[in-house]
Amino acid sequence: MTKSRPQIGIIGGSGLYSLFTDAREEFPDTPYGKASAALTIGRLGGREVAFLPRHGRHHQYAPHGINYRANVWSLQAAGVQQIIGVGAVGSLTPSIPPGSLVVPDQLVDRTTSRVQTYFDCPRVAHASFADPYCPTGRRTALQAAEKCGWPPVDGGVQVVIEGPRFSTRAESQWYAAQGWSTIGMTAHPEVVLARELGLCYTPLSLVTDLDAGVEEGNGVTQHEVMEAFATSLGRLHGVLDELVPLLAEERECACASLRPGAL
């Protein structure tokens, strides 16, 4: 019997394992080594979905040490065409408090050491990246969150830093002064790799804290972030339950056509 291939992939934390029914595991081969973990494939909202914990099953990979190329490639190899990227972020403004759900529309890369392309020499290609996220996926995510009674923040700029440390107060204040709204460590190069493969990428950013420069205090701690994320897991599950069946089975966006060809 031929197994069905999941069209939708979710990348996020290990707490999302409980989403699925009738789950199985697959570990697709990639030219880039092993992904962070095996894919867990199961049913969600009547659809076949593949889940990948980006930090590994035991959170053993720091943001700068994740094999992003293998992760995104493994999802495509399994049949995924649309990726939902779930991540914890800090807020750079009091107007977006902890507990908010943000669906950003822009990204700024401040990482320093990550391989961020499939086009190693001598293959050369230049991906169109003016609008990083799938516009159709974003609209659908906003709709799903509203249906769940969790009014989302529509749009905003997420700045991605190298990590694993959090920002200094001066760095945080500088990011905020640019008008950027949230800060995280994993959205890049995940989304650009999806673009290079012609995949849709829809972000769901959960605000766990106010970043170091936003208010006085001791700054962000790992415990604070993990605790806040765990507290909102139930609400995230609800949004994903609504979002997955709403995503179109036949894509009408331009994401697939934006996949660049090697020169």
Where along the chain do its domains lie? 8-248
Share of the chain above pLDDT 70, in %: 96
- Contact between 82 and 133 under an 8 Å Cβ cutoff? The reply is no
Residue 201's pLDDT is what? Answer: 98
Q: What is the pTM of this model?
A: 0.95
DSSP 90: E
Q: Exposed, middle or buried, 62 (CB in 10 Å: 0-12/13-18/19+)? A: middle
Task: List pLDDT tens digits, range 135-194.
Answer: 999 999 999 999 999 999 999 999 999 999 999 999 999 999 999 999 999 999 999 999
Closest CA to 145 of 208, 97, 101: 101
- Contact between 112 and 66 under an 8 Å Cβ cutoff? The reply is no
Residue 40's pLDDT is what? Answer: 94
Residue 20 confidence class, pLDDT cut points 50, 70, 90: confident
Q: Is the pLDDT of residue 220 over 90?
A: no
Active site residues: 209, 211
Residue 217 confidence class, pLDDT cut points 50, 70, 90: low
Residue 4 confidence class, pLDDT cut points 50, 70, 90: confident
Closest CA to 194 of 37, 71, 50, 112: 71
Instruction: Record the tokens describing residue 154, joined without a space.
Output: 């529509």
Residue 131's pLDDT is what? Answer: 98
Closest CA to 86 of 202, 248, 200: 202
CATH fold, domain 8-248, is: Rossmann fold (3.40.50)
Residue 2 confidence class, pLDDT cut points 50, 70, 90: low
